[in-house]
């Protein structure tokens, strides 16, 4: 009887002691949940959402040779293999983040989901009716959040939303679409005013996600848009020698300066707001100026396409032009088609975003955001 009393006494003491031990001292009892990744953007980030909407082949990549390098079949990604969010998910030890429109109600979405849509812009007027613009992507995020609450409960869903990283890559189409569609939009607005609208829409959605509970954001700026093979080909058509189109790159520069300023302001104004700003512009210029340093042999022409610099958007023969050329080794190329990068280039960007120095990826890199 005495032994039974002593055993009960020790059990009671252990139980009371365990109440005072921090949960991080009991890893087996309270395992750390993975940090989810929610993705917003355009074709640089779209894993196939546009396969599920009514659009045109201009905004789809669900045909060969897209996907040939890694997946061995087209997946809707505008490259030969994986896109940047695929690599970020891998580095974070997450499974591939699925397209939002492909997910079913049986999925808890606790690892995150991808809302990006090829051709999308920060402005609803950009390729309207053919893509899922940024504001609609935010609405889909709210639906996903509701789905999370229904499946895992309010408290756990709130924790997932707060701990998640929100990755943004959007804005290029807001500048490229008016040019390729001969829009008069740039005659109606001064460049600074137009850029302010684009950046304002991006930061508005960032603030809305913060109000929904999000705290950690990864933001890409814009690369030198005038150096895309499509723009080099346009330069040739206008009588040039295929130089970068500086007027277009100038818009990207304005965008990047304002976006950086706005994010710094948000950091001061929003509670617990933390962000990683990846300077893809500077990284791209370095690659274009010194290709061999980064393992590339060709940084002007695309791997897949036709015309000067393979800059006609004909890759796959499904966009009005059936004939196109395809390189033997996409790894040698910075660009896979007239606009989009190869898997090799996406990997380099993802590595810089994940663990790059503050002058390229700051004030945090993505790895540090996932660890916070």
Measure the CA dihedral 100/103/106/109, to 10°. Answer: -40
- End-to-end CA distance of the chain, in Å? 51
Beta strands in 79-231 (DSSP E): 112-114, 165-169, 216-220
Query: Is position 43 annotated as part of the catalytic site?
Result: yes
Residue of 86, 133, 172, 340 marked catalytic: 340
Residue 95 near residue 161 (C-beta atoms within 8 A): no
Contacts for 95-102: CB closer than 8 Å, 24+ residues apart: 96/47, 97/37, 97/39, 97/47, 98/47, 99/46, 99/47, 99/48, 99/49, 99/51, 99/52, 100/49, 100/140, 100/144, 101/49, 101/51, 101/52, 101/53, 102/48, 102/49, 102/51, 102/52
Contacts of 130 (CB under 8 A, 6+ apart): 55, 56, 58, 59, 119
For helices 246-269 and 280-289, what crossing angle results, to 10°?
140
Smallest CA-to-CA distance from 334 within 277, 278, 292, 279 is with 292
Residue of 43, 284, 301, 349 marked catalytic: 43
How, if at all, do strands 165-169 and 37-41 pair? Answer: parallel
Smallest CA-to-CA distance from 38 within 193, 228, 165, 158 is with 165
Beta strands in 75-214 (DSSP E): 112-114, 165-169
Query: Is position 9 annotated as part of the catalytic site?
Result: no
Any bridge partners for residue 275, and if so which?
A: 217
Alpha-carbon span 67 to 99, nearest angstrom? 16
Contacts of 249 (CB under 8 A, 6+ apart): 224, 225, 226, 227
Alpha-carbon span 329 to 318, nearest angstrom? 22
Residue of 117, 306, 337, 349 marked catalytic: 337
Q: Enumerate the active-site residues.
A: 43, 337, 340
């Amino acid at each position: 009887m005495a032994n039974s009393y002593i055993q009960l006494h020790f059990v009671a003491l252990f139980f009371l002691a365990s109440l005072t031990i921090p949960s991080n001292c009991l890893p087996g009892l309270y395992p750390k949940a993975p940090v989810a990744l929610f993705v917003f953007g355009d074709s640089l980030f779209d894993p196939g959402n546009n396969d599920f909407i009514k659009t045109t082949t201009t905004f789809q990549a669900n045909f060969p040779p897209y996907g040939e390098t890694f997946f061995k079949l087209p997946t809707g990604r505008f490259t030969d293999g994986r896109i940047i969010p695929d690599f970020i998910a891998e580095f974070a030890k997450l499974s591939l983040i699925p397209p939002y429109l492909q997910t079913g109600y049986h999925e808890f979405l606790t690892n995150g989901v991808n809302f990006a849509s090829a051709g999308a812009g920060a402005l609803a007027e950009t390729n309207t009716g053919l893509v899922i613009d940024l504001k609609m992507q935010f609405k889909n995020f709210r639906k996903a959040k509701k789905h999370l609450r229904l499946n895992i409960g309010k408290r756990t869903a709130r924790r997932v939303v707060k701990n998640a990283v929100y990755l943004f890559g959007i804005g290029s189409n807001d500048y490229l679409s008016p040019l390729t569609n001969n829009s008069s939009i740039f005659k109606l607005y001064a460049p600074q005013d137009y850029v302010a609208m684009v950046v304002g829409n991006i930061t508005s959605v960032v603030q809305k996600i913060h109000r929904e509970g999000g705290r950690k954001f990864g933001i890409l700026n814009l690369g030198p848009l005038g150096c895309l093979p499509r723009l080099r080909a346009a330069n040739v058509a206008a009588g040039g020698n295929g130089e970068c189109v500086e007027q277009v790159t100038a818009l990207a520069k304005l965008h990047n300066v304002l976006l950086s300023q706005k994010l710094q302001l948000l950091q001061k104004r929003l509670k617990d707001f933390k962000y990683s700003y990846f300077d893809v512009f500077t990284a791209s210029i370095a690659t274009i100026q010194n290709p061999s340093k980064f393992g590339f042999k060709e940084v002007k022409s695309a791997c897949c396409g036709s015309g000067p610099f393979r800059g006609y958007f004909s890759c796959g023969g499904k966009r009005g032009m059936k004939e196109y050329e395809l390189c033997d080794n996409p790894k040698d190329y910075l660009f896979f088609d007239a606009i989009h990068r190869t898997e090799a280039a996406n990997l380099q960007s993802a590595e810089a975003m994940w663990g790059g120095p503050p002058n390229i990826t700051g004030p945090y890199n993505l790895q540090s955001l996932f660890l916070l």
